[in-house]
Amino acid sequence: MDRPRLRGIVHVVNSLDYGGLERVVADLAIEQHARGMAVSVFSICDTGGFRGTLESAGVPVSVAGKRRTLDLDVLRLLRRAAAGADVVHSHNFVPNYYAAAALLGWRSRPALVNTCHNMGTRLDNRRLRLLYRWSLRRTARVAMVGEQVRRRFVDDGIVPAARAATVLNGIPVARFAGGDEARARARARLGVAADAPLLGCVGRLVELKNHRLLLDCLPRLAARYPDVRVVLVGEGPAEAALREQAAALGVAGRVVFAGACDDVPALLPAMDVFVLPSLTEGLSIALLEACASGLAIVASDVGGNPEIVRDGGTGRLFASGDGEALYALLDELLGDAAGRTRLGAAAREWVLANASVGAMADGYERLYREALAA
Protein backbone atom coordinates (compact mmCIF):
# COMPACT_ATOMS: atom_id res chain seq x y z
CA MET A 1 0.00 0.00 0.00
CA ASP A 2 1.28 3.49 -0.85
CA ARG A 3 2.35 5.60 2.09
CA PRO A 4 0.25 8.74 2.65
CA ARG A 5 1.84 11.85 1.19
CA LEU A 6 3.21 14.33 3.69
CA ARG A 7 0.76 17.20 3.76
CA GLY A 8 3.26 19.91 4.56
CA ILE A 9 6.85 20.62 5.57
CA VAL A 10 8.01 23.97 6.92
CA HIS A 11 11.77 24.53 7.00
CA VAL A 12 12.87 27.07 9.64
CA VAL A 13 16.19 28.87 9.16
CA ASN A 14 17.89 31.86 10.70
CA SER A 15 18.37 33.42 7.26
CA LEU A 16 18.86 32.44 3.63
CA ASP A 17 22.10 34.35 3.07
CA TYR A 18 24.61 32.48 0.93
CA GLY A 19 26.27 29.69 2.92
CA GLY A 20 26.52 25.92 3.16
CA LEU A 21 23.57 25.39 5.51
CA GLU A 22 21.37 27.65 3.43
CA ARG A 23 22.43 25.87 0.22
CA VAL A 24 21.41 22.52 1.77
CA VAL A 25 18.01 23.85 2.83
CA ALA A 26 17.34 25.36 -0.59
CA ASP A 27 18.32 22.19 -2.46
CA LEU A 28 16.34 19.97 -0.08
CA ALA A 29 13.20 22.12 -0.24
CA ILE A 30 13.34 22.29 -4.05
CA GLU A 31 13.76 18.51 -4.29
CA GLN A 32 10.85 17.93 -1.89
CA HIS A 33 8.68 20.32 -3.91
CA ALA A 34 9.60 18.43 -7.09
CA ARG A 35 8.45 15.22 -5.38
CA GLY A 36 5.00 16.69 -4.83
CA MET A 37 5.34 17.69 -1.17
CA ALA A 38 3.83 20.92 0.09
CA VAL A 39 6.98 22.65 1.33
CA SER A 40 7.79 26.19 2.42
CA VAL A 41 10.70 28.00 4.08
CA PHE A 42 10.41 30.35 7.07
CA SER A 43 13.33 32.73 7.64
CA ILE A 44 13.58 34.28 11.09
CA CYS A 45 15.69 37.25 9.96
CA ASP A 46 15.53 39.53 6.93
CA THR A 47 17.15 37.75 4.04
CA GLY A 48 18.08 37.74 0.38
CA GLY A 49 20.50 35.06 -0.70
CA PHE A 50 18.69 31.91 -1.79
CA ARG A 51 15.21 33.40 -1.43
CA GLY A 52 14.93 34.15 -5.13
CA THR A 53 16.16 30.66 -6.05
CA LEU A 54 13.50 29.06 -3.87
CA GLU A 55 10.65 31.24 -5.06
CA SER A 56 11.63 30.72 -8.70
CA ALA A 57 11.37 26.97 -8.09
CA GLY A 58 7.87 27.33 -6.61
CA VAL A 59 8.82 27.13 -2.91
CA PRO A 60 7.14 29.89 -0.86
CA VAL A 61 9.37 31.86 1.53
CA SER A 62 8.16 33.76 4.61
CA VAL A 63 10.46 36.35 6.21
CA ALA A 64 9.77 37.33 9.81
CA GLY A 65 12.30 40.17 10.13
CA LYS A 66 13.43 39.44 13.70
CA ARG A 67 14.12 42.70 15.57
CA ARG A 68 15.14 41.69 19.10
CA THR A 69 16.71 38.82 21.04
CA LEU A 70 13.41 37.05 21.65
CA ASP A 71 10.87 38.43 19.22
CA LEU A 72 7.31 37.38 20.02
CA ASP A 73 6.14 38.51 16.58
CA VAL A 74 8.40 35.83 15.07
CA LEU A 75 6.70 33.19 17.25
CA ARG A 76 3.27 34.39 16.13
CA LEU A 77 4.22 34.32 12.44
CA LEU A 78 5.90 30.93 12.73
CA ARG A 79 2.90 29.46 14.52
CA ARG A 80 0.72 30.64 11.64
CA ALA A 81 3.14 29.23 9.02
CA ALA A 82 3.16 25.82 10.75
CA ALA A 83 -0.63 25.47 10.80
CA GLY A 84 -1.66 22.40 8.82
CA ALA A 85 1.90 21.09 8.38
CA ASP A 86 2.98 17.57 9.25
CA VAL A 87 6.60 18.48 9.98
CA VAL A 88 8.43 21.59 11.11
CA HIS A 89 12.08 21.09 10.20
CA SER A 90 14.44 23.51 11.96
CA HIS A 91 18.07 23.99 11.02
CA ASN A 92 20.59 24.50 13.83
CA PHE A 93 19.99 25.91 17.28
CA VAL A 94 18.17 29.27 17.32
CA PRO A 95 15.57 28.10 14.77
CA ASN A 96 14.89 25.02 16.90
CA TYR A 97 14.08 26.90 20.07
CA TYR A 98 11.92 29.36 18.13
CA ALA A 99 10.08 26.43 16.53
CA ALA A 100 9.67 24.62 19.86
CA ALA A 101 8.27 27.78 21.47
CA ALA A 102 5.92 28.44 18.55
CA LEU A 103 4.47 24.92 18.82
CA LEU A 104 3.84 25.03 22.58
CA GLY A 105 0.36 23.81 23.43
CA TRP A 106 -0.15 21.81 20.22
CA ARG A 107 -1.03 18.26 21.21
CA SER A 108 -0.48 16.42 17.92
CA ARG A 109 1.00 17.42 14.60
CA PRO A 110 3.26 18.94 13.42
CA ALA A 111 6.28 16.94 14.56
CA LEU A 112 9.45 18.98 15.20
CA VAL A 113 12.63 17.73 13.51
CA ASN A 114 15.98 19.47 13.92
CA THR A 115 19.22 19.26 11.93
CA CYS A 116 22.64 20.07 13.44
CA HIS A 117 24.73 21.34 10.54
CA ASN A 118 28.07 21.75 12.35
CA MET A 119 30.09 20.64 15.38
CA GLY A 120 28.21 22.98 17.71
CA THR A 121 30.93 25.45 18.66
CA ARG A 122 28.26 28.12 19.23
CA LEU A 123 26.87 26.03 22.08
CA ASP A 124 29.78 27.22 24.19
CA ASN A 125 27.43 30.16 24.78
CA ARG A 126 25.64 29.12 27.98
CA ARG A 127 22.35 30.87 27.18
CA LEU A 128 22.12 29.32 23.72
CA ARG A 129 23.03 25.90 25.10
CA LEU A 130 20.27 26.08 27.73
CA LEU A 131 17.64 27.22 25.21
CA TYR A 132 18.65 24.50 22.75
CA ARG A 133 18.52 21.82 25.47
CA TRP A 134 15.04 23.06 26.42
CA SER A 135 13.89 22.88 22.80
CA LEU A 136 15.20 19.32 22.42
CA ARG A 137 12.65 18.10 24.99
CA ARG A 138 10.03 19.01 22.38
CA THR A 139 11.92 17.67 19.35
CA ALA A 140 10.95 14.27 17.96
CA ARG A 141 14.14 13.58 15.97
CA VAL A 142 17.54 15.26 15.54
CA ALA A 143 19.53 14.72 12.35
CA MET A 144 23.29 15.17 12.17
CA VAL A 145 24.89 15.90 8.81
CA GLY A 146 27.73 13.44 9.43
CA GLU A 147 28.75 10.65 11.77
CA GLN A 148 31.38 12.78 13.54
CA VAL A 149 28.72 15.40 14.25
CA ARG A 150 26.37 12.74 15.65
CA ARG A 151 29.07 11.37 17.94
CA ARG A 152 29.93 14.82 19.23
CA PHE A 153 26.34 15.68 20.21
CA VAL A 154 25.49 12.26 21.62
CA ASP A 155 28.78 11.71 23.48
CA ASP A 156 28.57 15.17 25.04
CA GLY A 157 25.08 14.38 26.30
CA ILE A 158 23.39 17.14 24.31
CA VAL A 159 21.14 14.95 22.14
CA PRO A 160 19.68 11.63 23.40
CA ALA A 161 21.02 8.74 21.32
CA ALA A 162 17.50 7.33 20.79
CA ARG A 163 16.47 10.50 18.94
CA ALA A 164 19.70 11.09 17.00
CA ALA A 165 20.23 10.03 13.40
CA THR A 166 22.77 10.69 10.65
CA VAL A 167 21.53 12.10 7.34
CA LEU A 168 24.41 13.06 5.08
CA ASN A 169 24.24 16.39 3.33
CA GLY A 170 23.55 16.06 -0.37
CA ILE A 171 23.98 18.19 -3.45
CA PRO A 172 22.45 18.18 -6.97
CA VAL A 173 25.45 16.44 -8.52
CA ALA A 174 24.22 16.84 -12.11
CA ARG A 175 24.65 20.61 -11.76
CA PHE A 176 28.42 20.17 -11.52
CA ALA A 177 30.39 19.45 -14.67
CA GLY A 178 33.91 20.07 -15.87
CA GLY A 179 35.54 20.10 -19.28
CA ASP A 180 37.73 22.50 -21.20
CA GLU A 181 34.94 24.91 -22.13
CA ALA A 182 33.67 25.22 -18.55
CA ARG A 183 37.24 25.76 -17.34
CA ALA A 184 37.88 28.48 -19.93
CA ARG A 185 34.63 30.31 -19.08
CA ALA A 186 35.34 30.16 -15.33
CA ARG A 187 38.89 31.44 -15.72
CA ALA A 188 37.77 34.27 -17.97
CA ARG A 189 35.17 35.25 -15.39
CA LEU A 190 37.81 35.26 -12.61
CA GLY A 191 40.45 36.99 -14.72
CA VAL A 192 42.91 34.11 -14.37
CA ALA A 193 45.19 33.06 -17.22
CA ALA A 194 44.43 29.74 -18.90
CA ASP A 195 47.70 28.09 -17.84
CA ALA A 196 48.12 29.58 -14.34
CA PRO A 197 48.08 27.03 -11.48
CA LEU A 198 44.98 27.92 -9.45
CA LEU A 199 44.19 27.02 -5.83
CA GLY A 200 40.60 27.69 -4.76
CA CYS A 201 38.51 27.84 -1.62
CA VAL A 202 34.76 28.37 -1.27
CA GLY A 203 33.31 29.50 2.05
CA ARG A 204 32.48 32.42 4.28
CA LEU A 205 35.46 34.66 5.00
CA VAL A 206 35.52 34.03 8.74
CA GLU A 207 38.33 33.04 11.12
CA LEU A 208 37.10 29.46 11.53
CA LYS A 209 37.69 28.79 7.82
CA ASN A 210 41.39 29.63 8.41
CA HIS A 211 42.08 31.13 4.97
CA ARG A 212 45.17 32.74 6.55
CA LEU A 213 46.94 29.39 6.53
CA LEU A 214 46.50 29.08 2.77
CA LEU A 215 47.76 32.61 2.13
CA ASP A 216 50.81 31.93 4.32
CA CYS A 217 51.81 29.17 1.86
CA LEU A 218 51.55 31.39 -1.20
CA PRO A 219 54.97 33.14 -1.20
CA ARG A 220 56.85 29.81 -1.14
CA LEU A 221 54.53 28.28 -3.73
CA ALA A 222 55.09 31.31 -5.97
CA ALA A 223 58.84 30.66 -5.85
CA ARG A 224 58.17 27.16 -7.22
CA TYR A 225 55.27 28.02 -9.55
CA PRO A 226 55.70 31.62 -10.76
CA ASP A 227 52.17 31.96 -12.15
CA VAL A 228 50.30 30.42 -9.19
CA ARG A 229 47.08 32.13 -8.08
CA VAL A 230 44.52 31.72 -5.25
CA VAL A 231 40.80 32.41 -5.55
CA LEU A 232 38.64 32.89 -2.47
CA VAL A 233 34.92 32.58 -3.22
CA GLY A 234 32.76 34.05 -0.46
CA GLU A 235 32.45 37.13 1.68
CA GLY A 236 32.58 37.84 5.39
CA PRO A 237 34.07 39.89 8.21
CA ALA A 238 37.62 38.53 7.73
CA GLU A 239 37.97 39.89 4.19
CA ALA A 240 39.75 43.13 5.15
CA ALA A 241 42.27 41.26 7.30
CA LEU A 242 42.91 38.72 4.53
CA ARG A 243 43.53 41.49 2.02
CA GLU A 244 45.97 43.10 4.45
CA GLN A 245 47.72 39.77 4.95
CA ALA A 246 48.07 39.22 1.20
CA ALA A 247 49.56 42.70 0.80
CA ALA A 248 51.98 42.18 3.70
CA LEU A 249 53.14 38.89 2.17
CA GLY A 250 53.66 40.55 -1.20
CA VAL A 251 51.13 38.33 -2.96
CA ALA A 252 48.10 40.66 -3.26
CA GLY A 253 48.25 40.43 -7.05
CA ARG A 254 48.00 36.64 -6.84
CA VAL A 255 44.79 36.53 -4.77
CA VAL A 256 41.36 36.88 -6.36
CA PHE A 257 38.57 37.82 -3.94
CA ALA A 258 35.56 36.63 -5.95
CA GLY A 259 32.91 37.65 -3.40
CA ALA A 260 29.62 35.89 -2.66
CA CYS A 261 28.38 33.67 -5.46
CA ASP A 262 25.05 31.97 -6.13
CA ASP A 263 26.56 30.05 -9.04
CA VAL A 264 29.48 28.16 -7.49
CA PRO A 265 29.26 25.27 -10.03
CA ALA A 266 30.26 27.71 -12.76
CA LEU A 267 33.44 28.77 -10.93
CA LEU A 268 34.76 25.44 -9.65
CA PRO A 269 36.06 24.17 -13.03
CA ALA A 270 38.63 27.00 -12.99
CA MET A 271 40.47 25.40 -10.06
CA ASP A 272 43.35 22.92 -10.13
CA VAL A 273 43.25 22.15 -6.39
CA PHE A 274 40.43 22.85 -3.93
CA VAL A 275 41.70 23.79 -0.45
CA LEU A 276 39.69 23.73 2.79
CA PRO A 277 41.94 24.63 5.76
CA SER A 278 39.09 25.02 8.30
CA LEU A 279 39.51 24.79 12.06
CA THR A 280 36.11 23.08 12.34
CA GLU A 281 33.50 21.67 9.94
CA GLY A 282 30.29 19.65 10.04
CA LEU A 283 29.83 17.96 6.66
CA SER A 284 31.07 20.62 4.27
CA ILE A 285 28.88 21.46 1.29
CA ALA A 286 31.88 23.15 -0.29
CA LEU A 287 33.78 19.85 -0.14
CA LEU A 288 30.87 17.93 -1.65
CA GLU A 289 30.67 20.46 -4.47
CA ALA A 290 34.41 20.16 -5.08
CA CYS A 291 34.00 16.37 -5.27
CA ALA A 292 31.15 16.70 -7.76
CA SER A 293 33.36 18.92 -9.92
CA GLY A 294 36.08 16.28 -9.97
CA LEU A 295 38.66 18.48 -8.23
CA ALA A 296 41.71 17.33 -6.33
CA ILE A 297 41.07 18.28 -2.68
CA VAL A 298 43.35 19.21 0.23
CA ALA A 299 41.43 19.57 3.51
CA SER A 300 42.11 19.80 7.22
CA ASP A 301 41.46 16.66 9.22
CA VAL A 302 38.56 18.06 11.30
CA GLY A 303 34.88 17.31 11.86
CA GLY A 304 33.21 15.56 8.96
CA ASN A 305 36.02 16.22 6.45
CA PRO A 306 37.48 12.67 6.78
CA GLU A 307 34.02 11.26 5.97
CA ILE A 308 34.36 12.85 2.53
CA VAL A 309 38.11 12.93 1.98
CA ARG A 310 39.89 9.59 2.32
CA ASP A 311 43.56 10.51 2.44
CA GLY A 312 45.19 9.32 -0.75
CA GLY A 313 41.84 8.11 -2.11
CA THR A 314 39.38 10.95 -2.66
CA GLY A 315 41.79 13.72 -1.65
CA ARG A 316 44.51 14.61 0.84
CA LEU A 317 44.21 15.48 4.54
CA PHE A 318 46.51 17.47 6.82
CA ALA A 319 46.45 18.23 10.54
CA SER A 320 44.47 21.41 11.16
CA GLY A 321 46.75 24.42 11.57
CA ASP A 322 49.85 22.65 10.23
CA GLY A 323 51.09 25.09 7.61
CA GLU A 324 54.13 23.00 6.69
CA ALA A 325 51.96 19.98 5.93
CA LEU A 326 49.56 22.09 3.87
CA TYR A 327 52.44 23.59 1.88
CA ALA A 328 53.94 20.15 1.21
CA LEU A 329 50.65 18.75 -0.13
CA LEU A 330 49.97 21.76 -2.33
CA ASP A 331 53.51 21.65 -3.71
CA GLU A 332 53.12 17.94 -4.44
CA LEU A 333 49.76 18.27 -6.22
CA LEU A 334 50.63 21.34 -8.25
CA GLY A 335 53.47 19.32 -9.72
CA ASP A 336 51.42 16.18 -10.39
CA ALA A 337 48.65 16.63 -12.96
CA ALA A 338 48.00 12.88 -13.18
CA GLY A 339 47.62 12.67 -9.40
CA ARG A 340 45.13 15.52 -9.43
CA THR A 341 43.08 13.77 -12.10
CA ARG A 342 43.07 10.48 -10.17
CA LEU A 343 41.96 12.08 -6.89
CA GLY A 344 39.30 14.17 -8.61
CA ALA A 345 37.77 11.19 -10.42
CA ALA A 346 37.60 9.17 -7.20
CA ALA A 347 35.99 12.10 -5.36
CA ARG A 348 33.27 12.44 -8.01
CA GLU A 349 32.53 8.72 -7.88
CA TRP A 350 32.16 8.92 -4.09
CA VAL A 351 29.74 11.86 -4.12
CA LEU A 352 27.59 10.27 -6.84
CA ALA A 353 27.21 7.14 -4.73
CA ASN A 354 26.80 8.72 -1.29
CA ALA A 355 25.82 12.37 -1.23
CA SER A 356 23.29 13.29 -3.92
CA VAL A 357 20.38 15.57 -3.05
CA GLY A 358 18.05 12.65 -3.85
CA ALA A 359 19.71 10.44 -1.24
CA MET A 360 19.46 13.28 1.30
CA ALA A 361 15.74 13.78 0.58
CA ASP A 362 15.12 10.04 0.98
CA GLY A 363 16.88 10.10 4.34
CA TYR A 364 14.82 13.02 5.59
CA GLU A 365 11.54 11.48 4.44
CA ARG A 366 12.35 8.37 6.51
CA LEU A 367 13.21 10.58 9.49
CA TYR A 368 9.99 12.59 9.15
CA ARG A 369 7.91 9.41 9.22
CA GLU A 370 9.80 8.18 12.30
CA ALA A 371 9.12 11.51 13.99
CA LEU A 372 5.41 11.37 13.17
CA ALA A 373 5.18 7.79 14.42
CA ALA A 374 6.89 8.82 17.66
Position 3 in a domain: no
Is 278:302 a contact under the CB 8 Å cutoff?
yes
* Same-domain pairing of 22 and 49: yes
pLDDT at 106: 83
Q: How many domains does the chain contain in total?
A: 2
Position 32 in a domain: yes
* Same-domain pairing of 235 and 320: yes
pLDDT at 1: 39
pLDDT at 263: 86
Distance of alpha carbon 13 from the chain centroid: 13
Position 1 in a domain: no
* Same-domain pairing of 202 and 214: yes
Is 43:62 a contact under the CB 8 Å cutoff?
yes
Position 203 in a domain: yes
Range of the domain at 241: 173-354
pLDDT at 321: 96
* Same-domain pairing of 219 and 143: no
Of the candidates 272, 271, 282, 281, the residue with the CA atom closest to the CA atom of residue 338: 272
* Same-domain pairing of 17 and 68: yes
* Same-domain pairing of 222 and 84: no
* Same-domain pairing of 268 and 150: no
Position 141 in a domain: yes
Position 4 in a domain: no
* Same-domain pairing of 264 and 165: no
* Same-domain pairing of 203 and 320: yes
pLDDT at 206: 96
* Same-domain pairing of 21 and 145: yes
Q: Is the pTM of this model over 0.85?
A: no
* Same-domain pairing of 253 and 302: yes
* Same-domain pairing of 221 and 310: yes
Which CATH number covers residue 263? 3.40.50.2000
Is 316:309 a contact under the CB 8 Å cutoff?
yes
Position 30 in a domain: yes
Position 47 in a domain: yes
pLDDT at 3: 61
> For the chain, which ranges sit under pLDDT 50?
1
